[in-house]
C-alpha cells in the first residue's frame, strides 16, 4: 500500500464509472409491454425478501433517468454500466422485440451520450423472463438459444451507439444462488439443476457473443462480468488445500475455464460426478462458449476462507451468500467456510483489498493480453442523513480508497486494468436483502425518492476528475 502522504495516480485513459442493474432501480414493472421476470415472482412470494420488499417502484429510474444521468455528469463519471430488462424488451423471452421497451433504452443511451458518458450495457443481470423459467429456466438448454436471440435484438437496436457490452453479470449467482441454495430467484434447490444452469449460462455467453458480433460494428467491445472469488485455505494442510481447490473450481473455474480456456476443470467434473454426469455438455459446446473476448469484467467484494470440514462442527455455513438449509456449493459437503478475520461491512463481508489485487494478477497470468475492468466493487453501510440532510460515509471512502489502491498496485505490477465501476451509483433494491442494505454513493430517500450524493460520491468525483487517489485519514 502507498504511504498515506503520497497520492496514487492512475493512467489518464483510465475509465471511471458506476454500475446498476435494471430490476434494482427501474421500477415501472408494468409499463409498456414489460412482463414479470423471475425476480418479480420471487420478491412477491412471502418470506423470500427482507420485509417483503420488491422492485415494483425501486428508485423509479424508468421515469427519473434524466435526473440520474444529470447527477452522473455532475459527479464527472466517464461511464455508466446498466443492464437491460429482458422482459421489457422481449416480454415472453421469444419472438420480436417490443419497440416500446427498446425505446426506453434508446432514450437512456442518448441521454448518456449527450452528457459525454459512455454507456456500458449488461444484457443479463439475473432477471430471466418468467415465461422462460416456466419452460424450465437456465437448467434447460433452449434458454441459452433464447438468450442469443435476445442479444441480437438488443445489439441491432443499440450497437450503433453503445461500444461496451457485457453478456452476463455474475453467472455464479444465477446458477447457484438461484437453483442450488434458493436464496435468489427463482428459488429452486436442486444441485444438479444448478450445474446444468451453469453450463447453459456459459453457452448463452458464447452464443450471445457471436450474436452480438454478427450485428454490431467491429469496433464494439464484448466482455462478461464474473464475480470471481479469491479462495484461500485456512492452512497448507493437504486436506485444506483440496477444499480450497473444490471451491475455486465452483466459484471460478466453472465459468472462466470454458470461457477463457475452452474446458471445464477436470477436478470439478470429478468432484460433482455423483450429482450429474454432465451430459448437458453437447459436442461442440466448448467451442461455442470459448469465444474471443475483448476484455474481462471482475466483480469483487470479499475473499473466501475454507478448510476441510470438521465432523464435530455444526456451525452455519459462513460463505456470505445468505441463509439457506441448502448449499450453493454442489459436491462440497466436505468443505467448511470460515469468517475471514478483519473489519466487516454491513453485509458481514470482510474488507480485504488484497483479494482484488490477487484476482487481477491471476487473470493477468491466465489470460495474458486481455484487458481487465473492475465492473463492481463497493460496500453496504447503514447510511443515514444528518440533521442538515447530508450523508457522511467515511467508512465507504476508506473502503474505496483501499480497493482503488489495490487496483493501482495491480497496474504497477503489470495488470492491464482499464477502468473501475463502483457499485452502486445509488441505493436500490438489494435482492433478497430488500431495501435494508445501502451500497450507493448516492443516498435515496425511499419515501420521496429524493437523491442526495453522499460524501463518498463527492470524494469519488474528485478521484475521477483528477485521476489521483488522495490520502485518507486513518488509511
Paired with 372 in beta bridges are 296, 417
Q: Give the residue among 218, 73, 61, 196 at the shortest CA–CA distance from 139.
A: 196
Helix (H, G, I), strand (E, B) or coil at 403: helix
Q: Are strands 221-226 and 164-169 parallel, antiparallel or unpaired?
A: parallel
Residue 176: alpha-carbon gap to chain centroid: 14
Helical spans, DSSP H, in 272-393: 285-289, 354-366
**DSSP letter string over 101-153?**
HHHHHHHHHHHHHHTT-EEEEEEESS--BHHHHHTT-TTSTHHHHHHHHHHHH
Cell numbers linked to 80:
455508466
Measured CA to CA in angstroms, residue 246 lies from 25, 200, 307 at distances of 35, 21, 10
Residues ≥6 apart with Cβ < 8 Å to 285: 199, 202, 203, 206, 258
Report how far residue 291's alpha carbon sits from residue 334's, in angstroms, rounded to the nearest whole number.
34
- Bridge partners, 9 (sequence order): 468
Question: Catalytic annotation on 74?
Answer: no
How far is it, in rounded angstroms, from Cα 23 to Cα 124?
11
Of 133, 140, 376, 430, which is the active-site residue? 376
Contact 8, 469 (CB under 8 A): yes
Asked if residue 351 lies in contact with residue 345, where contact means CB atoms within 8 angstroms, the answer is yes
Residue 450: active-site member:
no
Cα atoms found within 13 Å of the Cα of residue 349, Cβ hemisphere only: 22
**Alpha-carbon distances of 236 from 47, 239, 375, rounded to whole Å:** 41, 8, 32
- Helix-strand-coil split of the chain, %, nearest 5: 40, 15, 45
| Dist. CA 144–CA 202, nearest whole Å | 8
Q: Which member of 133, 140, 170, 430 is catalytic?
A: 170
Phi and psi based region of residue 114 (left: phi greater than 0; alpha: psi -120 to 50; beta: remaining): alpha
Which residues have a catalytic role annotated?
170, 376
Amino acid at each position: 500500500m502507498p504511504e498515506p502522504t503520497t497520492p496514487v495516480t492512475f493512467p489518464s485513459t483510465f475509465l471511471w464509472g458506476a454500475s446498476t442493474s435494471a430490476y434494482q432501480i427501474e421500477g415501472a414493472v408494468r409499463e409498456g409491454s414489460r412482463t414479470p421476470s423471475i425476480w418479480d415472482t420471487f420478491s412477491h412470494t412471502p418470506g423470500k425478501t427482507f420485509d417483503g420488499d420488491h422492485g415494483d417502484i425501486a428508485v423509479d429510474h424508468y421515469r427519473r433517468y434524466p435526473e440520474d444521468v444529470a447527477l452522473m455528469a455532475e459527479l464527472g463519471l466517464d461511464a455508466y454500466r446498466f443492464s437491460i430488462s429482458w422482459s421489457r424488451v422481449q416480454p415472453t423471452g421469444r419472438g420480436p422485440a417490443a419497440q416500446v421497451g427498446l425505446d426506453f433504452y434508446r432514450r437512456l443511451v442518448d441521454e448518456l451520450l449527450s452528457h459525454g458518458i459512455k454507456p456500458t450495457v449488461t444484457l443479463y443481470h439475473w432477471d430471466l423472463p418468467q415465461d422462460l423459467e416456466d419452460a424450465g429456466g437456465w437448467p434447460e438448454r433452449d434458454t441459452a438459444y433464447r438468450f442469443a436471440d435476445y442479444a441480437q435484438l438488443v445489439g441491432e437496436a443499440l450497437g450503433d451507439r453503445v461500444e461496451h457490452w457485457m453478456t452476463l453479470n455474475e453467472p455464479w449467482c444465477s446458477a447457484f444462488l438461484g437453483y442450488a441454495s434458493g436464496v435468489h430467484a427463482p428459488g429452486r434447490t436442486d444441485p444438479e439443476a444448478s450445474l446444468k444452469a451453469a453450463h447453459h449460462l456459459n453457452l448463452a455467453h458464447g452464443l450471445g457473443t457471436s450474436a452480438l458480433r454478427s450485428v454490431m460494428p467491429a469496433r464494439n467491445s464484448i466482455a462478461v462480468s464474473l464475480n470471481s472469488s479469491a479462495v484461500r485455505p485456512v492452512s497448507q494442510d493437504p486436506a485444506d488445500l483440496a477444499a480450497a481447490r473444490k471451491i475455486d473450481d465452483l466459484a471460478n473455474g466453472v465459468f472462466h475455464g470454458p470461457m477463457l480456456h475452452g474446458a471445464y476443470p477436470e477436478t470439478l467434473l470429478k468432484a460433482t460426478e455423483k450429482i450429474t454426469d454432465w451430459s448437458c455438455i453437447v459436442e461442440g459446446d466448448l467451442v461455442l462458449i470459448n469465444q474471443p473476448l475483448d476484455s474481462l469484467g471482475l466483480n469483487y467484494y470479499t475473499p473466501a476462507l475454507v478448510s476441510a470440514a470438521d465432523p464435530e462442527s455444526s456451525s452455519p455455513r459462513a460463505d456470505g451468500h445468505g441463509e439457506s438449509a441448502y448449499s450453493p456449493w454442489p459436491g462440497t459437503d466436505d468443505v467448511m467456510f470460515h469468517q475471514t478475520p478483519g473489519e466487516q461491512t454491513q453485509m458481514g463481508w470482510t474488507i480485504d483489498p488484497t483479494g482484488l489485487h490477487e484476482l487481477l494478477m491471476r487473470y493477468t497470468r491466465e489470460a495474458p493480453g486481455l484487458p481487465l475492468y473492475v465492473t463492481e466493487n463497493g460496500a453496504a453501510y447503514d447510511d443515514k442523513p444528518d440533521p442538515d440532510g447530508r450523508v457522511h460515509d467515511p467508512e465507504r471512502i476508506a473502503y474505496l480508497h483501499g480497493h482503488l489502491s489495490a487496483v493501482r498496485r495491480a497496474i504497477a505490477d503489470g495488470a492491464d486494468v482499464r477502468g473501475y465501476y463502483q457499485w452502486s451509483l445509488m441505493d436500490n433494491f438489494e435482492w433478497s436483502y430488500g431495501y435494508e442494505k445501502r451500497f450507493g454513493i448516492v443516498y435515496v430517500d425511499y419515501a420521496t425518492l429524493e437523491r442526495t450524493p453522499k460524501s463518498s460520491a463527492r470524494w469519488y468525483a474528485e478521484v475521477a476528475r483528477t485521476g489521483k487517489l488522495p490520502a485518507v485519514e486513518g488509511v
